[in-house]
């Protein structure tokens, strides 16, 4: 949940546990939260400039990670001698998975052993088990995760969301079953989103139209937090497939992951592949 600062619309700020859904909703409406408005930045390019409002006080700016691939000087030399150069400024828009079946959780506590049993709609139960075991300092056998039909996932249910941790915490604290189901609005606002890249892409050709070199500068929106997928997708996956089906002798890729006051980025349908293939095919 938010600690001191709420960094994006939809970020959880409190948890209410009640005997019924109606009571929980009524109690939630009774919460009084005082907000002090502070500067925020949601635009990817605006967030990347040095004087933009910072999301993390410990960082000098909003650039959470930087990676370069290739020889910049050699690629520049090839571009200078190329017969033809195609240049494009591209936006790979932010998308939301928003499955018809929103996330749902039910955590039970075995009265005799104290073992936690979590029924989850998660696409990666082993990852979820590892994270929860670490957070709550549990031995592996103290937590069981059961996954049955999850409905649509599209990658959005791979991430570990705050509710995954909160429901286990509440059940363990109260020593009774706790259930939670996201509303469609919560799923749209607060689940991980996808894509949201800005590319300055260039492709150099010789006189016969043969590809000589590719150069791409990318700003990748990480959202409000540097989650594993937000970094892995642009830094660990995108560059591996950006050449698509083409032979490209030389490449230079400069990628920056940028923090913004938006929902965190996660996997969505082929994570990393659409982000890489899109600029290449547009250039072609």
Cβ atoms of 203 and 148 within 8 Å: the answer is no
Q: Could you please report the per-residue DSSP string of 81-96?
A: H-SEEEEEEEEEEEEE
Residue 165 — pLDDT band, cuts 50, 70, 90? very high
44-91+192-283: CATH topology is Aldehyde Oxidoreductase; domain 4 (3.30.365)
pLDDT in tens, 183-208: 999 999 989 999 999 999 999 999 99
Let me know the angle formed at the C-alpha of 151 by 145 and 156, rounded to the nearest 5 degrees: 75
Report pLDDT for 228: 87
Residue 161 — pLDDT band, cuts 50, 70, 90? very high
For the cut 90, the answer to whether the pLDDT of residue 69 exceeds it is yes
Equal fold, 44-91+192-283 vs 103-181:
yes
Q: How far apart are CA 283 and CA 114, in angstroms?
A: 58
Q: Which residues pair with 116 in a beta bridge?
A: 109, 143
- In sequence order, the 6+-apart residues with CB closer than 8 A to the CB of 196 are 44, 92, 93, 94, 220, 221, 262, 265
- Please state which CATH class domain 103-181 belongs to: alpha beta
pLDDT over 90 for what percent of the chain? 96
Q: What is the mean pLDDT of residues 259-279?
A: 95
Supply 73's token pair.
Answer: 């000087």
Q: Where are the domains of the chain?
A: 44-91+192-283, 103-181
Q: What is the mean pLDDT of residues 244-260?
A: 97
Q: What is the mean pLDDT of residues 76-85?
A: 98
Q: What is the mean pLDDT of residues 30-50?
A: 96
């Amino acid at each position: 949940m938010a600690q001191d600062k709420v960094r994006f619309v939809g970020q959880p700020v409190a948890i209410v546990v009640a005997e019924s859904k109606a009571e929980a909703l009524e109690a939630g409406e009774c919460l009084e939260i005082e907000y002090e408005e502070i500067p925020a930045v949601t635009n990817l390019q605006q967030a990347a400039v040095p004087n933009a409002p910072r999301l993390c006080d410990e960082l000098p700016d909003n650039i959470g990670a930087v990676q370069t691939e290739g020889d910049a000087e050699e690629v520049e030399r090839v571009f200078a001698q190329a017969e033809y150069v195609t240049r494009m400024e591209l936006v790979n828009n932010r998308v939301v998975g928003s499955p018809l079946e929103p996330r749902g959780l039910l955590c039970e506590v075995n009265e005799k052993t104290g073992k936690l049993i979590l029924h989850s709609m998660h696409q990666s139960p082993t990852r979820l088990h590892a994270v929860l075991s670490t957070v709550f300092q549990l031995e592996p056998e103290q937590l069981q995760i059961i996954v049955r039909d999850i409905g649509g996932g599209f990658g959005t249910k791979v991430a570990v969301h705050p509710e995954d941790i909160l429901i286990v915490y509440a059940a363990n604290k109260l020593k009774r079953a706790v259930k939670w189901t996201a509303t469609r609005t919560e799923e749209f606002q607060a689940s991980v989103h996808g894509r949201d890249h800005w590319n300055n892409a260039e492709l150099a050709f010789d006189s016969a139209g043969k590809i000589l070199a590719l150069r791409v500068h990318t700003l990748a929106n990480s959202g409000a937090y540097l989650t594993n997928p937000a970094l892995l997708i642009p830094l660990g996956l995108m560059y591996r497939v950006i050449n698509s089906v083409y032979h490209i002798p030389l490449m230079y890729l400069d990628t920056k992951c940028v923090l913004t006051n938006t929902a965190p980025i996660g996997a969505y349908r082929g994570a990393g592949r659409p982000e890489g293939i899109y600029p290449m095919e547009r250039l072609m």
